Amino acid sequence: MAGRRTDTRERIQQVALELFAERGYDKTSLQEVAERLQITRPALYYHFRTKEEILTGVIERLVESIEELVAWGRQQPATTEARLEILRRISGLLSDQWRPLFRFAQVNQGALEHHPKGERLRGCVISLVSLLCVPGESAEKQFESRLAVLAVILGNLPLLFGSESDPETDLNEVALRVATKLVTGEQPDE
Amino acid sequence: MAGRRTDTRERIQQVALELFAERGYDKTSLQEVAERLQITRPALYYHFRTKEEILTGVIERLVESIEELVAWGRQQPATTEARLEILRRISGLLSDQWRPLFRFAQVNQGALEHHPKGERLRGCVISLVSLLCVPGESAEKQFESRLAVLAVILGNLPLLFGSESDPETDLNEVALRVATKLVTGEQPDE
DNA sequence: GTCTATACTCGGATAGAC
DNA sequence: GTCTATCCGAGTATAGAC
């Protein structure tokens, strides 16, 4: 897993992620990918056997980064403070490194669903959303735990939750406060 | 807007909705649509000038049904009871008539984003999600109002919120209770 | 007014030359 | 490791049959 002479493979994946996130998987032609890399279309087929295999690579990166966070989150204690820390961590990643990956996931939701690796991706997204659930709890508490994670995620997608009235507010902040309330069971603390 | 002698046009839209919801817009070929209708591919072009125009028809149905609900919801009083009634109504529609339409919207999120009519669809989905917002309220309250609607919607997408531990629970019921709490500001009433 | 036959273009994919 | 040539399938356009 080392000593690759050129970096073409990685560059393809990077350009593909960009284009897939912008225009969507299906609407992105390999022609465009090749052009942006200054190579010809069939040249791509040296590095990947199929267009879908390029997708696979991008999905794997997404899956790995989520699984990493889930693994970390699982070995945190079940205290309220630790759970809030998990929420903050998710929010931080989303507004930073994860942004393009999540944009990609959102735009290509349909393509991901029919992809071989889609099952695994779905599984780890569920793990992420369920990270704050405690096994013994009631169905309602579990739903609230998941909703809290979702709230933080949605706080990073202004499209749906942008408040027309006052666009100044930091949506992330608001989402985090609402998620906190959901997890702690209402505690306005102000 | 009446007196069409054959129903081919409607049948195309119906079959298209089915296939788009199943396999996704891009992965559905006009060949498949035509085959399922027992006509030839070019015959579709008599009724619709392009594949995208078929999509447009499906989107319009979706938009209309949402706008209808939003219009009704907007003329409800701002009382707590009325807001809960709105949530119940959304939940009811989702688990019934809207199910295929929402599955379609979910699978084809990417395609919808790049469609001319996508803007309008997005707008009316935002209206739907914001239906319980009251203009003067704090950003937090508004976020919670939107989250309540989302919760009800998510309660109908078992994929993400299914509880492994006890799959017997009616997710809709749970979602509705959680949404109620969000709207009324915590009131366990049990 | 409704559909079929045919043909064109473009994008994904393969084989083989350099 | 990349390019040329080529194939195939899908969206699209048009002519014309009924």
Considering the domain boundaries, does residue A171 fall inside one?
Answer: yes
Mean of pLDDT over chain A: 90
pLDDT for B169 equals: 79
Q: Sign of torsion, CA A88 A93 A94 A95?
A: positive
- Strand D nucleotides with an atom less than 7 Å from a protein beta carbon: 1-5, 9-15
pLDDT for A105 equals: 94
Question: Shortest CA distance to B172 belongs to which of A112, A4, A140, A44?
Answer: A140
Considering the domain boundaries, does residue B45 fall inside one?
Answer: no
How open is the CA angle B152-B176-A84, to the nearest 5 degrees?
A: 80
Residue nearest to nucleotide D9 (CA to C1'): B29
Considering the domain boundaries, does residue A115 fall inside one?
Answer: yes
Going residue by residue through chain B, which has 190 residues, state the pLDDT in tens, using 9 for 90 and above: 332 457 899 999 999 999 999 999 999 999 999 999 999 999 999 999 999 999 999 999 999 999 999 999 999 999 999 999 999 999 999 999 999 999 999 999 999 988 999 899 999 999 999 999 998 999 999 999 999 999 999 999 887 787 666 666 799 999 999 999 999 987 655 5
pLDDT in tens, B105-144: 999 999 998 899 989 999 999 999 999 999 899 999 999 9
pLDDT for A3 equals: 34
Considering the domain boundaries, does residue B145 fall inside one?
Answer: yes
The number of beta carbons lying within 10 Å of the beta carbon of residue B12 is 22
Q: How many domains does chain A have?
A: 1
Considering the domain boundaries, does residue A43 fall inside one?
Answer: no
Instruction: Compute the half-sphere exposure of residue A182: CA atoms within 13 Å on the CB side of its CA.
Output: 34
Cross-chain Cβ contact B160/A126 below 8 Å:
yes
Considering the domain boundaries, does residue B112 fall inside one?
Answer: yes
Cross-chain Cβ contact B143/A161 below 8 Å:
yes
Q: How would you class A67 by CB atoms within 10 Å of its CB: exposed for 0-12, middle for 13-18, buried for 19 or more?
A: middle
Spacing of B176 CA from C17 C1' in Å: 66
For range A48-52, the mean pLDDT: 95
Cross-chain Cβ contact A146/B160 below 8 Å:
yes
DSSP H helix total and E strand total for chain A? 11, 0
Residues 6+ apart with CB under 8 A from B23: A114
- Show the tokens assigned to B126: 């935002």
pLDDT in tens, A156-166: 988 778 766 66
Q: Please measure the distance between the N-terminal and C-terminal CA atoms of chain A and give it in whole angstroms.
A: 53
Cross-chain Cβ contact A106/B107 below 8 Å:
no
pLDDT for A187 equals: 64
Spacing of A53 CA from D5 C1' in Å: 24
pLDDT for A164 equals: 64
- Show the tokens assigned to B149: 């609607």
The number of beta carbons lying within 10 Å of the beta carbon of residue B68 is 12
pLDDT for B81 equals: 96
Considering the domain boundaries, does residue B8 fall inside one?
Answer: no
B120-135 burial, b if ≥16 CB within 10 A, otherwise e? ebeebbbbbbbbbbee
User: Is any atom of strand C within 7 angstroms of residue B5's beta carbon?
Assistant: yes
Q: Which domain holds residue A130?
A: 56-184
User: Is any atom of strand D within 7 angstroms of residue B27's beta carbon?
Assistant: no
Considering the domain boundaries, does residue A1 fall inside one?
Answer: no
Residues in A touching B113 (Cβ below 8 Å): 24, 107
Spacing of A21 CA from D7 C1' in Å: 30
C-alpha B127/C-alpha A160 separation (Å) is: 9
User: Is any atom of strand C within 7 angstroms of residue A49's beta carbon?
Assistant: yes
Question: Shortest CA distance to A94 belongs to which of A149, A57, A26?
Answer: A149
pLDDT in tens, A12-24: 999 999 999 999 9
CATH code, A139:
1.10.357
Strands (E) in B24-160, as ranges, are: none
Cross-chain Cβ contact A161/B129 below 8 Å:
yes
User: Is any atom of strand C within 7 angstroms of residue B3's beta carbon?
Assistant: no
